[in-house]
Amino acid sequence: MSTLEIKNLHASVNGTDILKGLTLSVPKGEVHAIMGPNGSGKSTLAKVMAGHQDYEVGSGDVLLDGKSLLEMDVDERAREGLFLAFQYPAEIPGVSNANFLRAARQARLPDGEEIDAVAFYQEMYEKMAKLGMDKKFTGRSVNEGFSGGEKKRNEVLQMMMLEPKYAVLDETDSGLDIDALKIVAEGVNAMRSEERGFLVITHYQRLLEYIVPDYVHVLNEGRIIRSGPKELALELEEKGYDWLKEGELVKS
Amino acid sequence: MSTDSNSGNMIEIDREESNFHYDVEYKHDAGMGLSEDTIDYIANVKGEDQWITDFRKKALRVFHEKKMPTHWASEDLNSINFDEIRYYLSDGEAPKRSWDDVPNEMKETFERLGIPEKERKFLAGVEAQFDSEAAYSNVKDAVAEQGVIFVNSSEGLAEHADIFRKWFGKVIPTGDNKFSALNSAVFSGGSFIYVPPGVKVKHPLQAYFRINAEQFGQFERTLIIVDEGAELTYMEGCTAPKFETTTLHSAVVELVAMKDAKIQYITVQNWSANVFNLVTKRGLAHENAEVRWIDCNIGSRLTMKYPGVVMKGEGARGEVISIALANDGQHQDTGAKMIHAADNTTSNVVSKSISVGEGRSTYRGQVHIPKHLKGCKNNTECDALLINSKSRTDTYPAITVRGNKHSTQHEASVSQVSEEQIFYMKQRGLSETEAMSLSVNGFVNDLVREFPMEYSVELKRLIELEMEGSVG
């Protein structure tokens, strides 16, 4: 039950099939990495799980601790405990980071209950300090004018503040220099716990040196074609994806 | 650190809460339609001097002569049937100085709108108009003792004729436009304020305009004179019940800021969606004086309002800060007029409009700087936010600058709340409505900050309520 479970998932965008029977399960307490070449369906998977309107689910299911997410609206899935760290986070002019986070936290409370503003700010400042973010950040509009690194750090901050049950990190390493990558990875590692599962989507093995996964899955043409321990990532780095594609050897 | 959520319950007015009316027996009813008889009726009830009646009748002729401005404005103006509107309704009572003396229906109306509570909390004085006349009018003793006069227009004309007459119709002449002529013919209610030299009124004075009756027109007339070196903040709010028939609201507001004076005039307009709101507002700024309009239009069916400042004295400053929100069935046609008439005068216009669904927003701006002046500055910014593809926005800036010793700047932008932004916010757990009102509030955030705190809270609430039900 304490699992994020993707069952034989088929999904398409504009009539093109992208996911073609993807099956994967991420138990709480584990970090799973999904690697794959461009166009294999990595980002589609993240968007479909979160409920993006452009993607149509043909069949299959996504279960969060046994509850199907597919019937839920985007925000319900989020409140259920699914968090997506975006590859390209949206900018929201005029809405400060602090107000945004506050609204997101408030949305998780029952009607009539108000968040404790003082405790909220205290917690936010502590978590920002861990990510090496300046306090001034709170007053800036969400992601507006942020550098690539700042955006990704902000995603991790949001994850830390919203404390999801499962987090999907979509190409969180893209656009990061090595220092930023380390900070972001530290943030993620600090969140690793028995109570939380991670699905880390990445094109390169580099991120997995800092966020060490329990399992690595290889996605190709909308299906997991190989699963294995963390060493699989190194192998891929060395040999490239073609080595696996040609044979389509193994299923998970 | 901003902690605004706790104060959120202090003032809550939304269109549903204000959508009620009482069956009131009106002692005075000028009846349907508009003629010289209507004017005689009003003049008789008010016991006005002959010169005022003459002024009214002349204005009526101007009103009839002037064409509807549909060659540039909305055709929807033609939907107003001037024969099916009542031009004067009152109970014949003078405004009360104490809420205890206000007749029950009126008192309950204003209590439901939270006016007495606001008065206690942060206002220096309140005038509460119910249809054609003020039901309540009071200014705090400490403010009255400084010589500040705050009464309705009839009382102003009767008791302070010398100063009233000196400025009445001088900032906005009768013939300025068809609706200023209409107001000049049948005006009733509105505020007359005089602030003596050097007096800085610490807390705002507020007027609240309530329309209760169906098939009715409200024509308040406001004249505010702030003498040398004095300062005043005035706020107005307005609501009406929603009727099937059309309601007309056509006010004229004239401001006079003498040398070194400052006037800030704040409006939160939240009329019901059957109200035609056709208002003329202009301020005259003498040497080094400042006139600032903060204008927020959320309600009404059609609003046409372009607050203006005539900068007559050297160093005068004019400002218009405007927020408009047009939902389905609404057209907010707003803007600003900045007339530079002296050297080294400065004007600033910042306008933000939001169009939702089939709502329509129009910005019309006029900036005039003649050739013989020097050192004048204008800055104009207008930004429009569209929510869904059916909404429409237009910008008509007219900037006439002659001579080369001036500086002007104009920026305009149109943006949309994108699906990706909404998706992002929803992924963080916000509902679509919450996401939408957060981004709309974000869009107007820098302007909302210009409002006094009590009003900015109310404004945010109003925007949130408007967004509810408009998305989905």
- CA of B5: which chain A residue's CA is closest? A114
Which pTM does this prediction carry? 0.85
Residue A158 falls inside a structural domain: no
Apex B217 CA angle, B216 and B223, nearest 5: 150
- Contacts of B64-73 with CB under 8 Å at 24 or more apart are B66/B175, B66/B177, B66/B178, B66/B181, B67/B178, B68/B178, B69/B177, B69/B178, B73/B304, B73/B333
Is the per-residue pLDDT at A41 higher than 70? Answer: yes
What is the pLDDT at residue A246? Answer: 57
Task: Give the one of B420, B429, B446 whose C-beta lies nearest to A108's C-beta.
Answer: B429
Question: B-chain residues within 8 Å CB-CB of A50?
Answer: 423, 427
Q: CB distance B423–A90 less than 8 Å?
A: yes
What is the pLDDT at residue B185? Answer: 98
Size of interface A-B (CB pairs under 8 A): 91
Torsion of CA A176, A181, A185, A187, to 10 degrees: -80
Contact B334, B366 (CB under 8 A): no
Q: Are strands A197-202 and A16-27 parallel, antiparallel or unpaired?
A: unpaired
Domain that holds residue A13: 3-92+164-247
* Whole-number Å distance between alpha carbons of B451 and B364: 22
* Whole-number Å distance between alpha carbons of A191 and A160: 7
Q: How far is B442 from chain A (nearest CA, A)?
A: 4
Q: Residues near B203 by Cβ (< 8 Å), separated by ≥ 6?
A: B122, B123, B124, B140, B143, B233
Q: Are strands B191-195 and B149-152 parallel, antiparallel or unpaired?
A: antiparallel
**What type of residue is B81?**
N
What is the pLDDT at residue B320? Answer: 97
CATH assignment at residue A78? 3.40.50.300
Q: CB distance B421–A100 less than 8 Å?
A: no
- CA of A138: which chain B residue's CA is closest? B1
What is the pLDDT at residue B299? Answer: 92
Q: CB distance B5–A86 less than 8 Å?
A: no
- The total number of structural domains in chain A stands at 1
Q: A97-106 and A148-162 are packed helices; what angle lies between their axes, rounded to 10 degrees?
A: 30
Of B222, A43, A4, nearest to A34 by C-alpha is A43
Q: CB distance A79–B444 less than 8 Å?
A: no
* Whole-number Å distance between alpha carbons of B220 and A225: 76
ipTM of the complex: 0.95
What is the pLDDT at residue B2? Answer: 35
Tell me the per-residue pLDDT of A159-185, one tens digit each, with 9 for 90 and over.
Answer: 999 999 999 999 988 888 888 899 889
Residue A203 falls inside a structural domain: yes
Q: CB distance A141–B439 less than 8 Å?
A: no
Question: A-chain residues within 8 Å CB-CB of B431?
Answer: 75, 107
Contact B326, B359 (CB under 8 A): yes
Question: A-chain residues within 8 Å CB-CB of B423?
Answer: 50, 52-53, 74, 90
Average pLDDT for runs of 10 along chain B of length 472: 32 61 89 96 95 97 96 94 96 92 92 90 92 94 95 94 95 97 97 97 94 95 98 94 92 98 95 95 98 95 97 98 93 97 97 91 94 95 85 83 88 89 96 90 87 79 75 50
Residue A221 falls inside a structural domain: yes
Q: By percentage, how much of chain A surpasses pLDDT 70?
A: 96
Where in chain B are the domains? 14-75+82-418, 419-472
